[in-house]
């Protein structure tokens, strides 16, 4: 990949840092500040979040989404417990076992579901299959939902409420992996509380990195008791950044004046533009509804080849049930900085190649 790619849709983490956040880092770089989060920038975060979520919360900045997820889950699930998550969830397949590590060996139980989403029925069935009072089986401790999902779809408030309700009735805690929470919120257009604590979420991994920050995420607790051990767990995991003001300053800027939503709206809009354009390509089909900033598109092989020859960058995606020799699936991710001109060019190339191939 050239460092200055013309049409890079590989991921939202190939992007840089939003100017407002870069500016905040520069401004934070004056004088001395207490380390380890005893600084004004860090103190400000909970106030900002209280406004967004319309209630008091406990929040802890960390530098990576994997740290946020696995530390949050470790507060909810004992070493001998079980966590349900979608079979394609980041915590399940993309964190090299970090939740198992941070929990001290908990079991992650994969649950299937279309378009990256768990369903109330799927969760109820998974609970029924795994519920036990016999110590031979791990007790069920938590469920983790990803919003926006790994398939680019978004849970609605009532979907979260239904799943969380089933979980709560069973004594399970509810975690939301919000690495792309901003994209989900930008799509939903509801108050943040509607899809989190009001719907039964106990802790949220609220991501900023993919949304425009450099390396900054928050674990937001809606249940104070879960937060009790967090400071120790974070330190012990090596995630208490000493010059914390520089993580927190990113978060301050991200949360201020709705920047997080503004950046996410742009990413989502670019995804919609791609989706609409690609659906005009003969043979093209969306594998999942496009609701956030990720697209999974079935495309004729020559179109994929032609796009790559024209300099476009994106990943092939393993969805064997949709792919054939002539049709393949690719993933496209838009971001806070996606240039509309590049989207236009991508669609133009796709159209041209498709026409030639026809």
What residues between 202 and 241 interact with a second copy by CB under 8 A? 209-210, 214-215, 229, 231-241
Mark the segment that binds a second copy (CB under 8 A) among 100-108, 158-166, 272-280, 283-291: 100-108
Q: Answer yes or no whether residue 64 interacts with a second copy by CB under 8 A.
A: yes
Task: Determine if 30 is a binding residue for a second copy (CB under 8 A).
Answer: yes
Measured from the CB atom, is 161 or 342 closer to a second copy?
Answer: 342
* Range 31-60, binding a second copy (CB under 8 A): 31-36, 39-40
- Judged by beta carbon, residue 51 or residue 94, the one nearer a second copy is 94
Question: Considering beta carbons, is residue 94 or 224 the nearer one to a second copy?
Answer: 94
CB neighbour list of residue 35: distance below 8 Å, 6 or more residues apart: 242, 243, 244
Residue closer to a second copy by CB (options 194, 330) is: 330
102 within 8 A of 73, measured Cβ to Cβ: yes
Nearer to a second copy, 195 or 332 (CB): 332
Among candidate residues 132, 136, 134, 129, the one with its CA nearest the CA of residue 109: 129
Report, in Å, the least distance between residue 157 CB and a second copy.
29
Residue 322 binds a second copy (CB under 8 A) = no
What is the total count of residues that contact a second copy (CB under 8 A)?
79
CA distance 296 to 151: 7
Q: Under rule CB under 8 A, which residues in 115-174 are in contact with a second copy?
A: 135-139
**Residue among 86, 85, 123, 129 at smallest CA distance from 103:** 85
Structure tokens, 157: 């408030």
User: Binding residue for a second copy (CB under 8 A) from 42, 66, 151, 196?
Assistant: 66
The C-alpha atoms of residue 97 and residue 73 are separated, in whole angstroms, by 12
Q: Which is nearer to a second copy, 108 or 220 (CB)?
A: 108
Residues 228 and 1: their CA atoms lie apart, in Å, by 44
d(CA 283, CA 351): 11
| 343 binds a second copy per the rule CB under 8 A | no
Identify the helix (H) or strand (E) that includes residue 298. strand 294-300
Choose which of 61, 65, 116, 300 interacts with a second copy (CB under 8 A).
65
Which of residues 93 and 327 has its CB atom nearest to a second copy in the complex? 93
Closest approach, Cβ 120 to a second copy, in A, equals: 19
Ramachandran angles phi, psi of 111, nearest 5°: -125, 135
CA distance 271 to 290: 7
Phi, psi of 331 (to 5 degrees): -110, 135
Residue 180 binds a second copy (CB under 8 A): no
Nearest alpha carbon to residue 37 among 256, 252, 247:
247
Between 192 and 241, name the residue whose CB sits nearer to a second copy: 241
The reply on whether position 25 binds a second copy by CB under 8 A is yes
Per the CB < 8 A criterion, the answer to whether 20 and 259 are in contact is yes
Residue from 20, 48, 54, 78 binding a second copy (CB under 8 A): 78
Structure token digits, residue 63? 């530098």
**Ranges within 275-304 binding a second copy (CB under 8 A):** none
Minimum gap (Å) between residue 251 Cβ and a second copy: 14
Query: Per CB under 8 A, which of residues 246..275 are in contact with a second copy?
Result: 246-247
User: Token match 């450099």: residue?
Assistant: 214
User: Of 107, 117, 265, 266, which lies in the binding site for a second copy, with binding defined by CB under 8 A?
Assistant: 107
Residue among 272, 205, 271 nearest 239 (CA): 205
């Amino acid at each position: 990949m050239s460092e200055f790619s013309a049409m890079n849709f590989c991921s939202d983490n190939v992007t840089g840092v939003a100017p407002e956040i870069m500016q905040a880092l520069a401004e934070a770089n004056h004088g001395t500040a207490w380390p380890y989060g005893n600084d004004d920038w860090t103190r400000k975060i909970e106030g900002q979040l209280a406004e967004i979520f319309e209630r008091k919360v406990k929040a802890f900045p960390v530098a990576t989404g994997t740290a946020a997820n696995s530390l949050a889950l470790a507060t909810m699930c004992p070493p001998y417990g079980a966590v349900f998550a979608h079979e394609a969830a980041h915590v399940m397949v993309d964190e090299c076992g970090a939740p198992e590590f941070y929990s001290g060996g908990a079991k992650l139980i994969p649950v299937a579901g279309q378009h990256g989403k768990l369903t109330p029925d799927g969760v109820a069935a998974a609970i029924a299959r795994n519920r036990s009072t016999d110590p031979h089986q791990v007790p069920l401790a938590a469920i983790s939902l990803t919003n926006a999902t790994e398939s680019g779809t978004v849970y609605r408030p009532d979907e979260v409420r239904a799943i969380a309700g089933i979980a709560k009735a069973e004594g399970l805690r509810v975690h939301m992996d919000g690495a792309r929470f901003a994209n989900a919120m930008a799509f939903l257009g509801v108050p943040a509380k509607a899809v989190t604590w009001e719907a039964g979420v106990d802790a949220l991994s609220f991501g900023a990195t993919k949304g425009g920050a450099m390396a900054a995420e928050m674990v937001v607790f809606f249940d104070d008791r879960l937060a009790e051990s967090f400071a120790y767990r974070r330190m012990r995991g090596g995630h208490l950044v000493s010059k914390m003001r520089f993580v927190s300053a990113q978060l301050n800027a991200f949360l201020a004046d709705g920047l997080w939503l503004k950046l996410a709206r742009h990413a989502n809009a670019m995804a919609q533009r791609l989706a609409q354009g690609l659906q005009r390509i003969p043979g093209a089909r969306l594998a999942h509804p496009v609701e956030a900033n990720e697209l999974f598109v079935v495309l004729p092989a020559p179109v994929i080849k032609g796009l790559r020859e024209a300099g476009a960058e994106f990943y092939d995606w393993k969805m064997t049930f949709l792919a054939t020799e002539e049709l393949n699936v690719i993933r496209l991710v838009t971001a806070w900085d996606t240039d509309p001109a590049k989207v236009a060019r991508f669609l133009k190339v796709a159209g041209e190649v498709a026409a030639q191939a026809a």
